[in-house]
C-alpha cells in the first residue's frame, strides 16, 4: 500500500499519523474566530486544518429554505442562516494567509461542484468528501478531475455505497475515513474494528474521523492502524453551533496529538528484540541464561517445575 502525499506529508502505513483539526463551521461565520482556531490547531501540533464549503442555494433543499431558525443573529430562514455561515473569497483569503504564515496545511470538504470550483482558486493539497456527499457521483467526479488526493468519509453509508464511491474515485489517490455520523456519537456505535476491515478491503490509507466525546477512542483508532485522524476543534464546547459538543478544545487537542505521538513510538516495528535498557536487569534477574548455564540459587531450568 503506497502512501499519499498531502502538502508534502506522506500519509499511510509506516508514516506518522496525519492529524487533522476540523474547523468545519465552528467559526460561526467569523473569520477572526476561524484564525484563532487555526492557531489553536497549530499550537496543539496538528498537521492540518479543514473547513467546509457549501453553496447554500445548491445544498439547502427547497422545502427547508424558508423554515425559521433561532440563531445568535436573530430569527432567520434556514437559507439565510446557511448563507450567514459561509465564508466568501475575502474571508478564505485571510484563512489562507494565516495558514501560510503558520505553516499549517489547510483544505476543505466541498458539498457541491460550485464549491470545488471556488476552492480551486486556493489550490488546496487535497479534498474531503463528507459522508453526506458519498453518493453524489457528479461531485465525486468533479473532485477527481482536480487530480488531487481525496479523503472519503464513510459515515451513514452501506458497504455497497462505499464500494460504488471507491470505484468512482479509484484508489490511486484515495484515502478512506471510517466514521459514524452522529454528533456526538455514542461509544457503542463507533465500531472501530471497521478500520481493520477497510484495511483488508482497500489498497489505500485508512483513517478515522471521530465525533465522540473524549479522546480515548481516537487513540484506540491509532493503535488499530489509522494512518490519519480527524477531530473537530473548538475554543469552547459550550459555544453555539451543531458541531461544538462533539469538538475538542485546545488543551484537549494538544493532549490528543501528544499521546498519538507516544502511541506511535510505543507501537514500534513488531520485531521482538532485547533492548539496551533491559541488559542490566537481564544479567541481574534472569535465572536461566541458556541450556546448561544457570545463574542464581536456586535456578529453575526451562521445562522444570517449581513444585
pLDDT (tens digit, 9 = 90+) per residue, 171-219?
A: 999 999 999 999 899 999 999 999 999 999 999 999 999 999 999 999 9
Using one digit for the tens of pLDDT, what is the confidence trace for 206-252? 999 999 999 999 999 999 999 999 999 999 988 878 888 889 999 99
Measured in whole angstroms, how far is the alpha carbon of residue 32 from the centre of its chain? Answer: 24
Q: Does domain 4-267 have CATH number 3.30.565.10?
A: no
Beta bridge partners of 175: 151
Instruction: Note if the bond before 298 is cis, omega within 30 degrees.
Output: yes
Which one, of 7, 1, 24, 3, lies nearest residue 243 by Cα? 24
Report pTM: 0.91
Contacts of 255 (CB under 8 A, 6+ apart): 215
Domains of the chain, residue spans: 4-267, 274-307
Whether the CB-CB separation of 8 and 249 falls below 8 Å is answered with: no
What are the distances in angstroms from CA 247 to CA 23, 111, 185, 210, 234?
A: 9, 21, 11, 9, 6
pLDDT for position 281: 93
Contacts of 306 (CB under 8 A, 6+ apart): 300
Biggest alpha carbon–alpha carbon distance for the chain? 86
Amino acid at each position: 500500500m503506497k502512501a499519499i502525499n498531502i502538502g508534502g506529508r506522506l500519509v499511510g502505513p509506516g508514516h506518522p499519523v496525519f492529524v487533522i483539526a476540523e474547523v468545519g463551521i465552528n467559526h460561526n461565520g467569523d473569520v477572526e474566530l476561524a484564525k484563532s482556531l487555526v492557531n489553536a490547531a497549530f499550537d496543539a501540533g496538528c498537521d492540518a486544518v479543514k473547513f467546509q464549503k457549501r453553496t447554500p442555494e445548491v445544498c439547502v433543499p427547497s422545502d427547508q429554505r424558508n423554515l425559521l431558525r433561532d440563531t445568535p443573529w436573530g430569527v432567520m430562514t434556514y437559507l439565510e442562516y446557511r448563507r450567514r455561515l459561509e465564508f466568501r473569497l475575502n474571508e478564505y483569503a485571510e484563512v489562507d494567509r494565516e495558514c501560510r504564515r503558520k505553516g499549517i496545511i489547510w483544505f476543505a470538504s466541498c458539498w457541491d461542484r460550485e464549491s470545488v470550483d471556488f476552492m480551486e482558486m486556493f489550490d488546496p493539497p487535497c479534498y474531503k468528501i463528507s459522508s453526506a456527499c458519498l453518493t453524489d457521483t457528479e461531485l465525486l467526479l468533479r473532485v477527481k478531475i482536480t487530480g488531487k488526493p481525496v479523503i472519503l468519509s464513510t459515515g451513514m453509508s452501506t458497504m455497497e455505497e462505499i464500494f460504488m464511491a471507491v470505484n468512482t474515485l479509484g484508489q490511486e489517490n484515495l484515502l478512506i475515513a471510517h466514521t459514524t455520523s452522529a454528533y456526538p456519537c455514542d461509544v457503542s456505535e463507533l465500531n472501530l474494528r471497521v478500520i481493520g476491515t477497510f484495511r483488508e478491503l482497500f489498497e489505500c490509507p485508512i483513517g478515522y474521523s471521530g465525533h465522540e466525546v473524549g479522546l480515548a477512542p481516537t487513540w484506540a483508532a491509532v493503535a488499530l492502524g489509522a494512518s490519519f485522524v480527524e477531530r473537530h476543534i473548538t475554543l469552547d464546547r459550550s459555544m453555539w453551533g451543531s458541531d461544538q459538543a462533539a469538538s475538542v478544545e485546545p488543551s484537549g487537542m494538544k493532549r490528543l496529538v501528544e499521546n498519538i505521538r507516544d502511541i506511535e513510538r510505543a507501537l514500534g516495528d513488531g520485531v521482538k528484540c532485547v533492548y539496551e535498557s533491559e541488559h542490566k536487569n537481564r544479567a541481574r534477574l534472569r535465572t536461566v541464561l541458556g541450556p546448561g548455564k544457570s545463574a542464581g540459587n536456586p535456578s529453575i531450568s526451562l521445562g522444570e517445575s517449581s513444585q
